Amino acid sequence: MAVCLAFPLSFSLPPPFLPSFLPLLFSSFTPPPSFFLPFLLPLIFSSLSPPLLPEAKKGGGGRQGPPPCSCLALPVIGGGVAAATGSPLCQRVSQQLLRGRLSLRNRSGESVVHAGWCTTHTRRPRSLFSSVAPPGITVDTMYNSGHHHHHHKQGAPVSPDSAAAADVFEQLCTASTFKSVLYHYRLLCDVLRLKPTNFRNFYPKLKSKLRSWKAQAIWSKFDKRSSHKCYNHGKACTNSKVLIIGAGPCGLRTAIEAQLLGAKVVVVEKRDRFSRNNVLHLWPFVINDLKQLGAKKFYGKFCAGAIDHISIRQLQCILLKVALLLGVEIYENVSFEELTEPPEDQNEKIGWRARLSPADHPANQYEFDVLIGADGKRNTLHGFKRKEFRGKLAIAITANFINKRTELEARVQEISGVAFIFNQKFFKELYAATGIDLENIVYYKDETHYFVMTAKKQSLIEKGVILRDLQDTQQLLHPSNVDRNALMEYAREAADFSTSYQLPHLDFAVNHYGKPDVAMFDFTSMFAAENACRMVEKRGHKLLSGLVGDSLLEPFWPTGSGCARGFLSSFDACWMIRSFSSGKMMPLEVLAERESIYRLLAQTTPENLSKDHSSYSLDPASRYPTINLRAVLPFQVRTLFNTDDPVHLEEITNPHLVNNDELPKKRKRRGV
Ligand SMILES: Cc1cc2nc3c(=O)[nH]c(=O)nc-3n(C[C@H](O)[C@H](O)[C@H](O)COP(=O)(O)OP(=O)(O)OC[C@H]3O[C@@H](n4cnc5c(N)ncnc54)[C@H](O)[C@@H]3O)c2cc1C
């Protein structure tokens, strides 16, 4: 990494020539090392905060991390030039400039009046030069290279800020890791001096500042969605503050809807990487829903042609980008530990908060009135009873192999799901050839070659995968009772046979822990929450809690229902937030309505949901053709409301207030 400063220099060249001129100038200028020191130390290192660096580029995948900036040049009008070459220093300096933490002075100690940011991209040869002025520095000249590649609406003036922002926005759209999406988003907010907040105070500002064709295409999707009457122009829930635990597909989908309703939305995610390779089969309405949110703008290959699947990682990236661009606040590496009640001393009227880890994270101070548990099947939110559904022993194996995207690989047919009962010949031949005994198998060609299968215990024992036959399923599949190499071989053989040995190589992709991505797990038991919501009121503060996704209803994976029912539960939870926030319904009515809708969830199939996917909205009637919102009545959900307010206690106990006498009407069910 080389850094050089040159003083004094004055520019007589017209601005458009500057970008190509600067790197040349600095590559030929080589002052002695001692020349740097007086300038370097105070100028750069003293003002740098810990770097916010995106994760390193992994094999495959698209562009990740910061722009491959090879030169940062800071021209100083009438004073001199500071230039830094190489990454990550360039990136850090530019960040500090953008944040206004780094200021430049010329030799006479005067404040720099103009700071420019020049990046040279090595992959896509192009150059961008734009001016970004840190606060407190007067900018008297703005330059634009005029030959960067962003397309702007004809006639619209292009400010240097928006040119820099357009570049960062472009990279945000194509970023493919959790870290790089967050990195580019935060940089974008810095450049545009925006702070994520509720929809009405964030989205219109962002939209007005980004006008590239790509941005326009995304805004038109968002505008269409947000104009639905159920959001009331982002004013339906302006009084609500929502905390969502988990940035899995369902947590993010819930965040998007709550944000569109106008609530303030914060998501905490305990991980800092989206590392799940597994590929999800999506129901048609989910594909339609994601396309309406602009999925194709963020991931061009999204469900192209007849493809109806996506890797969890990509799905999370798409939803993350949508949520962020609408103004949702998302914190990575922050884990929800427990709820904190409103304090006894109510002088400051402090309400419900969460104890998060790390304890010094600012989100610990966030007060909310809605809490959504979207933290997957190991739900951490207390107060929700779970019921267990036990079936016969079922052992699933997932395996991900590297997709090198060769022509040979492209030709191999997917297996969108084949079960023993439908194709006994295939499974018998598999057993005869390999000793592998399966009940079903799925193969999707996505970012990886993804296989998922249900294996019979006896064949796992015979093939040496399971070491000892134990009664207790947990012990049976405990790592100490599993030979991982034999498991890898088992999965590889099954994959090879089922694709007629056509995949030229079967090298394992790596999982979250950097190990070959093969897993074996038990899905004999599945859990569902007994209730979808509850409400607690303490010291004048109500808290509405709800579960969504796997936390609410664990899916049976062969039906591919996880995301579909998960998204439905997200919409239903947001409909509940809307009812709660409207102030028109009593707490028990809100809870009863939510429980009425939850009763349908486990029965939903692609066939019995409404076929008009483009009309799906938060309104349950738009999705469930025969919904009865009063299937559960307020008096039946008294136990879900816990209050210390005497008036509300009265509501719970007074039969007249809760329609005690009105029993649910028996309805003839036609489908759902
Ligand atoms: C083998 C297999 C195959 C599957 N196939 C399909 C399929 O084909 N189609 C389909 O739709 N579904 C499928 N599923 C199910 C699908 O993966 C899930 O339904 C979906 O991922 C659920 O999303 P979620 O957001 O509810 O939970 P998750 O995806 O589990 O996300 C929960 C998030 O919460 C975070 N978290 C957890 N605890 C905390 C905490 N305390 N604080 C902060 N964050 C926390 C986690 O890190 C995680 O990011 C399959 C599942 C399996 C196991």
Confirm if 432 and 493 have CB atoms less than 8 A apart.
Answer: no
Average confidence score pLDDT of the chain: 79
Pocket (CB within 6 angstroms of ligand 1)? 245-251, 268-271, 278, 280-281, 312, 335-336, 374-376, 380, 396, 398, 452, 549-550, 555, 557, 560, 562-564, 566
Most confident region among 113-127, 136-150, 213-227 by mean pLDDT: 213-227
Distance 374 CA to ligand 1 centre (A): 9
Distance 502 CA to ligand 1 centre (A): 31
Rg (CA), the chain: 28
> What is the helix (H) or strand (E) element at residue 652, kind and residue range?
helix 646-653
Q: What is the mean pLDDT of residues 444-470?
A: 96
DSSP, residue by residue, 26-45: HHH----GGGTHHHHHHHTG
Distance 249 CA to ligand 1 centre (A): 7
Closest atom, ligand 1, to C-alpha of 552: 26
Distance 12 CA to ligand 1 centre (A): 59
Res. 230: pLDDT tops 50: yes
Distance 53 CA to ligand 1 centre (A): 27
- For domain 229-387+527-653, the CATH superfamily is FAD/NAD(P)-binding domain (3.50.50.60)
Determine the residue of 177, 250, 569 to mutate for testing ligand 1's pocket, defined as the one with the most ligand atoms within 8 A of the Cβ atom.
250
Closest atom, ligand 1, to C-alpha of 250: 25
Distance 250 CA to ligand 1 centre (A): 8
The 3-state DSSP composition of the chain as helix, strand, coil percent (nearest 5) reads: 35, 20, 45
CA-nearest residue for atom 49, ligand 1, is 248
Residue 536 forms beta bridges with which residues? 543, 642
Res. 554: pLDDT tops 80: yes
Determine the residue of 375, 414, 439 to mutate for testing ligand 1's pocket, defined as the one with the most ligand atoms within 8 A of the Cβ atom.
375
- Among 284-288, 361-365, 391-395, 547-551, which is the least confidently predicted range? 391-395
CA-nearest residue for atom 30, ligand 1, is 376
CA-nearest residue for atom 13, ligand 1, is 562
What tens digit of pLDDT does each residue of 263-298 get?
999 999 999 999 999 999 999 999 999 999 999 999
What tens digit of pLDDT does each residue of 162-204 get?
788 999 999 999 999 999 999 999 999 999 999 999 999 999 9
Distance 563 CA to ligand 1 centre (A): 8
Give the integer Cα–Cα distance in Å for 455 and 396. 6
Query: Cis before residue 358, ω within 30 degrees of 0?
Result: yes
Q: What angle do CA 410, 296, 95 make, to 5 degrees?
A: 110
DSSP conformation class of 255: H
> 229 versus 101: which is more confidently predicted?
229
CA neighbours closer than 13 Å in the CB half-sphere of residue 114? 21
CA-nearest residue for atom 39, ligand 1, is 375
Confirm if 80 and 6 have CB atoms less than 8 A apart.
Answer: yes
Distance 554 CA to ligand 1 centre (A): 9
Distance 312 CA to ligand 1 centre (A): 8
Picking from 377, 664, 631, the residue whose alpha carbon sits closest to that of residue 525 is 377
* Residue 103: predicted pLDDT: 43
For the chain, the structural domain boundaries read 3-156, 229-387+527-653, 392-523
* Residue 11: predicted pLDDT: 26
Determine the residue of 268, 270, 318, 571 to mutate for testing ligand 1's pocket, defined as the one with the most ligand atoms within 8 A of the Cβ atom.
270
> 551 versus 71: which is more confidently predicted?
551
Confirm if 294 and 218 have CB atoms less than 8 A apart.
Answer: yes
Tell how far CA 142 is from the center of its chain: 36
> 167 versus 72: which is more confidently predicted?
167
What tens digit of pLDDT does each residue of 650-672 get?
777 776 655 544 444 444 444 44
> What is the helix (H) or strand (E) element at residue 336, kind and residue range?
strand 335-340
